[in-house]
Amino acid sequence: MATINPQGNISAACAQGCNGALAMYEWRTNGNALGTVQLAQGGQPPMEWKLLRCGGCGAGALAWVRAPTGDYTTSAAVGRLQLLDFYPEAASMKKLPDAVPAGLAAEFREAERCLAAKCTRAAAGMARSVLDKTLRANGYKVKKGTPLEQQIDAAANDGVITAARKKRAHDEVRVLGNDVLHEPWREIDPADVEASLHYVQRVLEDFYDDRPSVAALIKSLGKTTHEDDPSLLTSVAPD
Q: For position 70, what pLDDT does the model report?
A: 59
Whether the predicted pLDDT of 186 surpasses 90:
yes
Q: List all residues 6 or more positions away from 83 whose beta carbon is below 8 Å from its beta carbon.
A: 2, 3, 4, 10, 63, 64, 65
Whether the predicted pLDDT of 92 surpasses 80:
no
Would you place residue 116 in the very low, low, confident or very high pLDDT band (cuts 50, 70, 90)?
confident
Report the C-alpha gap between 81 and 36 in whole angstroms.
15
118 and 67 belong to one structural domain: no
User: Are 134 and 203 a contacting pair, CB within 8 Å?
Assistant: yes
32 conformational bin, left if phi > 0, alpha if psi -120 to 50, beta if neither: beta
> Number of folded domains in the chain?
2
Question: Domain range holding 46?
Answer: 3-87
Report the C-alpha gap between 179 and 217 in whole angstroms.
33
* End-to-end Cα, the chain, rounded Å: 30
32 and 76 belong to one structural domain: yes
Report the C-alpha gap between 165 and 123 in whole angstroms.
20
Instruction: Specify the pTM.
Output: 0.75
Sequence-ordered alpha helix ranges (H) in the chain: 72-77, 102-116, 120-137, 148-157, 163-168, 175-182, 190-208, 211-220
133 and 186 belong to one structural domain: yes
For residue 96, being part of any structural domain is answered with: no
For residue 92, being part of any structural domain is answered with: no
Q: For position 44, what pLDDT does the model report?
A: 74
Residue 62 CA to chain centroid, in angstroms?
A: 21
165 and 81 belong to one structural domain: no
Share of residues in the chain with pLDDT > 70 (%): 93
Would you place residue 238 in the very low, low, confident or very high pLDDT band (cuts 50, 70, 90)?
low
